Structure 1
Amino acid sequence: MSRFAIIGAGQTGATFALALLSKGHEVALYSDRSPQSLYEDVPATGTAVMYGEALAVEERLGLHTYRDKAPLIEGLTGWVSSSSGMEVMAMAGSLGDMPGVGVDTRLRSFDRVNEFIRLGGTFIVEDVSPESLDTIAAAHDLTFVATGKRGLTDLFAGNAARSKYTEPQRALAMITVTGLPTDSSAFAHRSDHGGAYNAFSIVGDMGETIWCPYLHKTAGPSWSFLGFGRIGTEWEERLSSPSNAQEMLETVKGLHKEFLPWDAAFIANAEVIPDDRFSWLKGRVKPTVRDAAGFTASGHAVMSLGDTSMTFDPIGAQGAQSGMKQVGHYLDALESHDGPFDAEWIRSTFEDFFHKSGQASTALTSILLDQDAGGSVNETIFLASNGDRRVADGFFQLLSRPQSALPFKDIAAVHAWIEQLCPGETADEILGRSLSRIKEAEQLHAQGLPYFPRA
């Protein structure tokens, strides 16, 4: 039995603490808030959608996946238009045997913290500082840092070689709403799968939107909206302006009327959740990969976990998933290790995780952040997904298992992947079919007619 401390009782920290406790270890979980305050007094940290591979970690650990309560996400529809309003590409893909769920992070954290306490774990309400972390690390075999508060993230140096971006790439906005159906009638104009498919849109150089079926902590089945405004655009300003949930919802509806008319009628009845003043969120994130090992003032090695380890822009849905996969990987590494948990072990354990999973998650996020780059890997994937449903299936299934194909070394590797998904056809044939469909869309646009069905 080892003695572990975890700083941060968010979704990843609480999950890891509970899993370690169930393995028979002595665990102390530190949080700057009580369990009830974590549930009531903070916003959800994003939609935290998780798909098959991350949910499989929860199942393996005997944790509740919420699949029995949350609306299942079985696939996605992706529609692409230009900033001027021309509707260009429409794709739909299934997640196959890897359906997902979007669950309020406050609900997951609250349930797991309370279970941790019930089973005898030590829960300490303390605003941990770099100075107090030194004392905590000295008293435990290994301390994990799963929060960036009070400068704790600064203990872990950023890895410039693995961190492609030096600034945030999007202004982010989120709101959870009720008033919309979550059954097959939801987004029925987009596909026969209705509310079982996320609704993803790209609007030229303005940004992206996605509607996700969601399990809110009190409202239950609902919808969560995420908006991504490109820096320097009108969307950045508009998504950054709201100061409360109602203003955010009005902004979202306004963007739909002007830029996303195909979904505007469906979301017109969306309503804020009156008993949750934290049902919305805005901000921006700089995608960053950090060193796994940090050191306290006295030289104790501590280990980064979750968002402290790898910070993702949420456009690729990799943050919560990567954290859960990291929990599973680290548990296995701890169980098979016999010796000190020193900096060498910390770094080698993270390196193994990064090469097995984290690197591909970073690559997938970049594909979605950089989707307008001409002649690139990302453009080829989007074009091929527009040309063939089988490619769209394969693309969207990368959300759960990006390491099955990513990172691609070059365009030739992308073509080989496309042809593997579509036996008997060449990548050029599929891309040609996509270009033909884009010409059809251009012709309709020239006639003043829509290409996408309307709600």
Structure 2
Amino acid sequence: MQNGIKPTLYTDRTPEEYADARLMNTVAHHHVTTEREDALGCNHWPSDEFGYFGHYYYIGTPEPIEMFGDLARPSRAVDYRIYQPKLLKDFIERGGEVVYGPVEREMIEGISDAHDLTVVCTGKGPIGQMFGRDDRFSPFERPQRMLCVGLVKGITEPETRAVTMYFSPGAGELIEIPSWSFNGWCNALVLEKQIGGDLEILAKTKYQDDPRAFLDLLLEKLEKHYPTLYARIDREEFDLANSPLDILQGGVTPTVRQTCTTLDNGKMAVALGDVHAVVDPVLGQGANMASYAAVILGEEIVANDVFDQRFVEKFDTRRHDRVMSGTRWTNYMLENLAKLDPTLLEFIGGMAQSRALTDQFTEDFNHPEAQWDIFSSPERVRATVARMALPMAAE
């Protein structure tokens, strides 16, 4: 393997098993992530062909606000049931070893005995619970939104292929993502429903019980809360994009866990991805944070011979600002969109008056630390709005 390191991956799913799996997520890779894929030679979906080029915004206030912001380079969304098996095959072709089968908590000690370092990437169940909760960055004890996410067909593409972020005050948010799946282009709809709000029923109504009734209910709610999206829907064609497996419902409790734990044999296990920091999908940060951290971890593994507490400190320091900024910015938006915080409304008003501010906000989905530089205090929000309004005033 490259750099003289031979990794072993433990997974419960072969590449062939992904095609018949339920939708795993609705992940968008921001262009900083696809650029890492380019560098690693594993970007099989070039963004100039498979990408999208900006963000539309719709804020459903009494006088609706609509805006568009450009991305400096295109981002991209590919169904992970296509994406992950392809990268797993890349890993195998480059000499990586894969061990297939269920991985249980009681197996971790034995796995670590066979390796210099154990990295844990799944945040579910007893394995994720090996790592203690970091209360500094985990303000919530339960999900802040109920989710209904799926891949659908029958939506006309807008003038520019782009993500659209819709906000319905008091009800929730919706993120529409142009996505590539088994049957080609479709749209991911990420419905974020405020608990107790008008849209929450979509998290509890099951498509498989009565597909037509579910679709009619969804169309009714889209027409009420997101009318500009509804206007682009062909009611006859509108349905799940591939099969009844194209939908997920539930909720996510945003949680940050400690970076490492010491196993009984004295070796370190390091938390990566969702086991370290799981965020609500409203801003599309989770997979991008994990990709960033994974590359940092790989660089530190190459640079170090000893995998001890100092190794963990060096790795954690390098990934901390981006991952924790993505976490805190996401949590800020969850809280302040729900209560229509005046400071956030001031920022939205600034975007409505300044295309430069809208472009910056859109581009900085790639750089959550830059977003947190803005939203970490009301004073920073006001300073940013004032600064970005100056070019327009000069005109």
Shared fold (TM-score, shorter chain, > 0.5): yes
CA distance in 2, matches of 1:248, 1:27: 45
2:250 maps to amino acid:
G
Q: Specify which of 113, 130, 142 is matched with residue 105 of structure 2.
A: 130
Q: Which residue of 2 aligns with 1:16?
A: none
Q: Which residue of 2 aligns with 1:366?
A: 331
Residues 154 and 234 in structure 2, CA contact (< 8 A), matched pair in contact too? no
Residues 172 and 240 in structure 1, CA contact (< 8 A), matched pair in contact too? no
Q: Specify which of 258, 270, 293 is matched with residue 291 of structure 1.
A: 258
CA distance in 1, matches of 2:111, 2:35: 32
1:164 maps to amino acid:
P
Gaps of 5+ in 1: 1-20, 188-193, 430-455
Q: Which residue of 2 aligns with 1:407?
A: 373
Q: Is 1:228–2:195 an aligned residue pair? A: no
Q: Specify which of 40, 43, 60 is matched with residue 20 of structure 2.
A: 40
Residues 21 and 81 in structure 2, CA contact (< 8 A), matched pair in contact too? no
C-alpha displacement of 1:418 = 2.6
Q: Is 1:253–2:219 an aligned residue pair? A: yes
* Residues 251-290 of structure 1 mapped to structure 2, 5 A cutoff: 251-269=217-235, 270-273=237-240, 275-290=242-257
Q: Quick one: structure 1 residues 53 and 275, their matched pair in 2 at CA, closer, same or farther if it must change by over 3 Å?
A: closer
Q: Is 1:64–2:43 an aligned residue pair? A: yes
1:131 maps to amino acid:
E
Gaps of 5+ in 2: none
Match of 1:30, SS state, is strand
C-alpha displacement of 1:372 = 4.3
C-alpha displacement of 1:319 = 0.7
User: How many equivalent pairs are there?
Assistant: 389
C-alpha displacement of 1:172 = 0.8
Residues 171 and 239 in structure 1, CA contact (< 8 A), matched pair in contact too? yes
CA distance in 2, matches of 1:119, 1:41: 26
C-alpha displacement of 1:209 = 0.9
Q: Out of 365-374 and 99-108, give the one that drifted further.
A: 365-374
Q: Which residue of 2 aligns with 1:219?
A: 183
* Residues 77-92 of structure 1 mapped to structure 2, 5 A cutoff: 77-82=56-61, 86-92=62-68
Q: Out of 58-67 and 137-146, give the one that drifted further.
A: 58-67
Residues 169 and 340 in structure 2, CA contact (< 8 A), matched pair in contact too? no
* Residues 80-229 of structure 1 mapped to structure 2, 5 A cutoff: 80-82=59-61, 86-95=62-71, 97-181=72-156, 186-187=157-158, 194-216=159-181, 218-229=182-193
Q: Which residue of 2 aligns with 1:341?
A: 307
Q: Which residue of 2 aligns with 1:241?
A: 205
- 1:220-240: CA deviation from partner (whole Å, max 9, x where unpaired): 121111100011222122333
Match of 2:108, SS state, is helix
How does the TM-score come out when normalised to structure 2?
0.91
Q: Quick one: structure 1 residues 354 and 248, their matched pair in 2 at CA, closer, same or farther if it must change by over 3 Å?
A: farther
2:288 maps to amino acid:
Q
Q: Which residue of 1 aligns with 2:347?
A: 381
- 1:305-327: CA deviation from partner (whole Å, max 9, x where unpaired): 11111101000110111111112
C-alpha displacement of 1:352 = 2.3
C-alpha displacement of 1:48 = 0.9
Residues 71 and 215 in structure 1, CA contact (< 8 A), matched pair in contact too? yes
C-alpha displacement of 1:121 = 1.7
Q: Is 1:423–2:390 an aligned residue pair? A: yes
Q: Quick one: structure 1 residues 88 and 388, their matched pair in 2 at CA, closer, same or farther if it must change by over 3 Å?
A: same
Residues 169 and 337 in structure 2, CA contact (< 8 A), matched pair in contact too? no
Q: Which residue of 1 aligns with 2:278?
A: 311
Q: Which residue of 1 aligns with 2:9?
A: 29
Residues 78 and 201 in structure 1, CA contact (< 8 A), matched pair in contact too? yes
CA distance in 2, matches of 1:242, 1:264: 21
CA distance in 2, matches of 1:274, 1:405: 33
How does the TM-score come out when normalised to structure 1?
0.79
C-alpha displacement of 1:384 = 1.2
CA distance in 1, matches of 2:44, 2:352: 32
CA distance in 1, matches of 2:64, 2:231: 20
C-alpha displacement of 1:137 = 0.8
1:303 maps to amino acid:
V
Match of 1:74, SS state, is strand
C-alpha displacement of 1:126 = 1.8
Identity %: 21
* Residues 323-342 of structure 1 mapped to structure 2, 5 A cutoff: 323-337=290-304, 339-342=305-308
CA distance in 1, matches of 2:46, 2:218: 28
1:49 maps to amino acid:
A
Q: Which residue of 2 aligns with 1:432?
A: none
Residues 149 and 247 in structure 2, CA contact (< 8 A), matched pair in contact too? yes
CA distance in 2, matches of 1:296, 1:237: 43
